[in-house]
A = this chain, B = another copy of it.
């Protein structure tokens, strides 16, 4: 399935990350599942951290390559934020790897993250023009929206959001609440 050893290593690492979290990703097991020796990874990556950074960049790029489905600015904004949250809840370990502190300086990872950020700012600008969001610096407004989605996703994924009982809100609900408030300010 994977052409070269490098891809096979990344595939194995992604599988392990998804199944058992970052602590399950050991170079020895990665090598084993890729059918090579326990230190073949060092012929393709400088270190374990570099392998994880390559994995993060690849997943971020794959996600950016998905086709855009929503049409209206309102749907595009909402769908982007909701799918970010779904992603975090579906792949918590990958989410933390990508959006947590980076332990190596990876150009690939920086470029992928910048591209995603730029794209999101475009979405925000379109929503501003449709009076769905208040006027003002779109980069700063994008940071506000992204921070809320990130925080709600991170807290929910860690189990710290649902306090139980009434007043319980999914991270998606919080995103919708914020969008409603911002639209009220914009209108």
Contacts and interface: CB of A to CB of B under 8 A. Distances in A.
A64 interface: no
Contacts of A114: 163
A158 interface: yes
A35 interface: no
A140 interface: yes
A51 interface: no
Interface string A145-156: 011111111110
B150 A144 contact: no
Interface residues of A, number: 46
A137 B163 CA distance: 13
A139 interface: yes
A144 B101 contact: no
Interface stretch (A10-18, A24-32, A167-175): A167-175
A147 B166 contact: no
Contact of A144 (B92, B140, B174): B174
Nearest to A118: B163
26 contacts: A99-B154, A99-B155, A99-B158, A100-B158, A102-B158, A114-B163, A139-B169, A140-B168, A140-B174, A144-B169, A144-B178, A146-B151, A147-B155, A147-B161, A147-B171, A148-B148, A148-B151, A149-B151, A150-B151, A150-B154, A151-B152, A178-B178, A181-B182, A181-B185, A184-B185, A185-B185
Given A101-B157, A144-B177, 8 more contacts: A139-B163, A139-B168, A144-B178, A147-B148, A151-B152, A181-B182, A184-B185, A185-B185
